[in-house]
Amino acid sequence: MAVPDALSRLPASTTVHDVTVLPDLEGIPLTPFEIAQETAKDPILSKVLEFVLFGWPEPKSPMITDALRPFYHRRSELTVLEKCLLRGNRVVIPTSLRAHVLKILHLGHTGVVRTKMLARSKVYWMNMDDDIEAYIGACQPCKVVNFKPSPDLLPWPATSYPFERVHMDFCQLQGHLLHSCRCLH
């Protein structure tokens, strides 16, 4: 592949300035500037940002605190774009913006599974799944829609002979009383 190789080594005579947008943020109305500002204010993420830009210390260094250790283990996945921290193609959300992002992710009351799926494609923070479950668990409309019957409900005991128990259903259609009978045997 001589031509592509030669072109990749050819120096450009002018500098091209592209306007970059954080990946996959179309559905989340946060600008890179807002995220970068809040990342700089976050005590943990600002240190991670510094380490990603200027190099990580040794693993046994006292600079790697317990709060930074999970990021240290993922250091090969972390990058910086427009002063925002990324893990892969997902934006690392600072603590101050997490409630706002959770609200946006849960706009359609789509439930835990779909909200997690959407979040995992766009954003990242430590314990994100637990935060999503807690947020949706406190959502009153979701509680009503996703009603789960109590596990202490007991089924009817099995019958031992035909017509031991008869169930009747009654309804009315155009002024006529209708019923159906079911026999369990």
Every domain of the chain and the residues it spans: 22-145
Model confidence pLDDT, tens digit, residues 157-171 = 888 888 788 776 666
Model confidence pLDDT, tens digit, residues 25-67 = 445 567 888 899 999 999 999 999 999 999 988 888 888 888 8
CATH topology (fold) of 22-145: Endonuclease III; domain 1 (1.10.340)
Model confidence pLDDT, tens digit, residues 71-105 = 999 999 999 988 999 999 899 999 999 988 888 88
Query: Does the predicted TM-score (pTM) go above 0.85?
Result: no
CA distance 61 to 59: 6
* Range of weakest confidence among 74-78, 145-149, 181-185: 181-185
Question: What separation in angstroms does the CA of 51 have from each of 41, 70, 170?
Answer: 15, 13, 71
Q: How many CA atoms lie within 13 A of 153 on its CB side?
A: 5
Tokens 């009383």 label which residue?
Answer: 177
